[in-house]
Amino acid sequence: MRTNILITGASSGLGEGMARQFAAKDRNLALCARRTERLEALASELRSTNPGITVVVKELDVNDHDSVFRVFHECRDELGSLDRVIANAGLGKGQPIGTGAFAANKQTMETNVIGLLAQCEAALEIFREQKQGHLVIVSSVSAVRGMRGNVTAYAASKSAAASLAEGIRMQHLGSHIKVTALLPGYIESEMTAQAPKTPLMTSADKGAKALVKAIEREPGKAYIPGWPWTVLAQVMRFAPLPIVRKLS
């Protein structure tokens, strides 16, 4: 069992939901995010409802790369080990390319790609020392194809995340280091609150449960929820661009 779990981006959305689900399973948690006041409130709640667990809180901006390595090692030292790292921190800013929003698109790419790389490097350093561990990279179903408009940079960053996960998984095939890429569809969160309403939207609670259920299986890749996104992802992958445009 993966007892000690670190989650980045844990102050809201998918990270917060996964933290609640794992706490209910009596897992010890290291919760990392920029908004420590929200982390402290969540940690207090989890300790109260699950008194047998340890919850560590750390302020972390994944774009401060030196801090990523320091914080991950501090969490490992305080919990005794890190059995699973969930690289969930990410950014959903973005505007159509060429409309003067380079700064927003750049920030999204830096956070979701270079910030993710720092998390993977730090996690794998620890796992190599321990000779075991489970790295979970939160990508998106938008990684399947290029997307238009406000989602172009975001989708490209999540495609990089999925590719990074596959490369790391390939490196460690047959070892005790496991790697999972999660590709969520529409799940209620601060990020999706800005997206157009869709009948495909999954509630935050249902989405968190589906994420944790998939993580516990430790697959190489999983679309979340499995239905309908496993099927829709294949449609998106092979459909002509005019059809993908309507879906995006």
Q: Is residue 186 flagged as an active site residue?
A: no
Please state, as a whole number, how many other Cβ atoms lie within 10 Å of the Cβ of residue 132.
15
Catalytic residue among 22, 72, 154, 223: 154
CA triplet 40, 111, 167: central angle to 5 degrees?
110
Compute the residue count for the chain: 248
- State the alpha helices, DSSP H only, in 50-151: 65-79, 102-109, 115-130
- Residue pointed to by tokens 């790295």: 135
Please state, as a whole number, how many other Cβ atoms lie within 10 Å of the Cβ of residue 14.
27
C-alpha–C-alpha distance, residues 184 and 166, integer Å? 16
- State the alpha helices, DSSP H only, in 88-238: 102-109, 115-130, 152-171, 204-217, 226-238
SS3 135: strand
Which residues, in sequence order, are CB contacts of 158 under 8 Å at separation 6+?
A: 112, 139, 140, 142, 143, 183
Indicate which residues carry an active-site annotation.
Answer: 154
